[in-house]
Amino acid sequence: MTRQKIVAGNWKLNGNVALIKQFNEAFKSPELAHVKVMIFPPALFTNAFESSNLIVGVQNISEHVSGAFTGELSVAMLNDLGISHTLIGHSERRDLYNETNEIIAKKVVTALAANITPILCIGESLATRQAGEVNQFIQSQLDSVLDAVGIAGIAKCVIAYEPIWAIGTGQTASPAQAQEVHAFIRQYIASIDAHVADSISILYGGSVNAQTAAELFAQPDIDGGLVGGASLKESEFLTICQAANQRG
């Protein structure tokens, strides 16, 4: 089965109207038939993108659908605006905002109930890697979501493996290191449902750039990238998308 190739740009707390105009121009008519291109800008900018070649999502959602939760985004609001994708469980949300596996699982439940596709982010710290506990840690993150939505729910997600030690540091897991963890994720899902494992897209996130993209995307279990800093440069991001497109 041919899995969907995806390149997603996470702008985090960056971006402005001028940058959006540059992206609208750069992605007006590129030949990217074999890759889905997604941008996750700050929520204020979600309606400012014009290119039909870009899927625009949000960086986070609330586990609550409505209520007295100042500053939160509801899936009902996403439905109103036709927004189809959200990041859930990014390492910065886990670390800076104390989002536990349980909270992240609740957010996945809420997203799927509203027909919003989660990009579920998982990944280990440097200390976990050095302790030789990567697989156990990744499995525990997956299990919390599997317990909440089952394998049928996971099948509706995209998974993004992002080693925390390689995010915003300039370090990138080697293609072999990234492939090893992607293969473990796919094998673990296959132990539950082989068809889901064969069809689910698993992205690599962690300082992906124009120089590293092609070799990373050539790995058999890496289906694209969740791109941080390089997604703020339209020409570099387009190069990364083209690298994924060639593997589609």
Tell me the catalytic residues: 90, 162
Q: Could you give the CA distance from residue 91 to residue 66 in angstroms, rounded to a whole number?
A: 25
Angle between helices 134-154 and 101-113 (to 10 degrees): 20
Concatenating the DSSP letter of every residue in 101-170 gives: HHHHHHHHHHHHHTTPEEEEEE---HHHHHTT-HHHHHHHHHHHHHHHHHHHHHTTSEEEE--GGGSSSS
- Nearest C-alpha neighbor of 29 from the set 4, 55, 54, 9: 54
- Which residues are CB-neighbours of 105 under 8 A, at least 6 positions away? 144, 145, 147, 148, 149
Q: What is the dihedral of CA 42, 46, 48, 49, to 10 degrees?
A: 110
**CB neighbour class for 17 (10 Å; exposed up to 12, middle 13-18, buried from 19):** exposed
Are 119 and 85 within 8 A, CB to CB? yes
Can you tell me the distance from the alpha carbon of 96 to that of 111, in angstroms, rounded to the nearest whole number? Answer: 22
Q: Helices 234-245 and 17-26 meet at what angle, rounded to 10?
A: 40
